[in-house]
Amino acid sequence: WVHGGAFLGGHLDMPESHWVSMELAARGIPVLALDYVKCLGETHFPEPSDDVLAGWRDAVAHAEELFGLPASAVVLGGASAGGNLTAGATARLRDAGESVPAGLVLVYPLLHPNGPDASSEVDPTSRHGELALNFAGAVDALADPHAFAGLGPAEGFPPAFVLVCEQDELRPSGEVFAAHLKDAGVDVDLRLEAGARHG
């Protein structure tokens, strides 16, 4: 489980990481919560994505010990920026010919450089544009489907659960990605949290 924080903040003790993990664990679902390097200073994509991939590979290598499950049963998930990183990591695994997660859980994810419009057209002076560019590190990287999985092919993704919030500016990004997955024949469960805002 990978928390959000606009690629700039967030930590393992925040509710989006700790509370979610504890709620899942209380229901008998073992959870490994993962942190990652933040995009501060000269740190940009792919460094946070590399951390998620390293954590994923370690988790599946020790799946029996950590979860009491085979590696083939482990699911990857995240919220907001964490949803971006988990979807991007899944695309990287697929494109490298590695096994993808058994499933993907994306909670109010940012999957396009322009999340509110679910597009690649970015105004670098807007709040969302500044965050996307800070994550990507360069204008060219804004088009990288490993940085923003909504821009790439959906074939080969695992079954996905996508949760979006009714009053969230990023809602279109999650909805469009869910439709993209469905069009590619991926089993998708899209849920709308009525009345909810981002986070």
Q: How far is CA 11 from the centre of its chain?
A: 15
Give the pLDDT of residue 63: 97
The pLDDT tens digits for 161-178 are: 999 999 999 999 999 999
Give the pLDDT of residue 116: 83
In this prediction the pTM is: 0.95
Give the pLDDT of residue 119: 84
For the chain, residues with pLDDT lower than 50 are: none
The pLDDT tens digits for 184-193 are: 999 999 999 9
- Asked whether the beta carbons of 30 and 67 are under 8 A apart, the reply is yes
Give the pLDDT of residue 178: 98
Q: Count CB-CB contacts under 10 A for residue 23.
A: 12
Give the pLDDT of residue 21: 96
Which backbone phi and psi does 77 adopt, to 5 degrees? -150, 165
Give the pLDDT of residue 121: 87
Any bridge partners for residue 105, and if so which?
A: 77, 161
Give the pLDDT of residue 117: 84
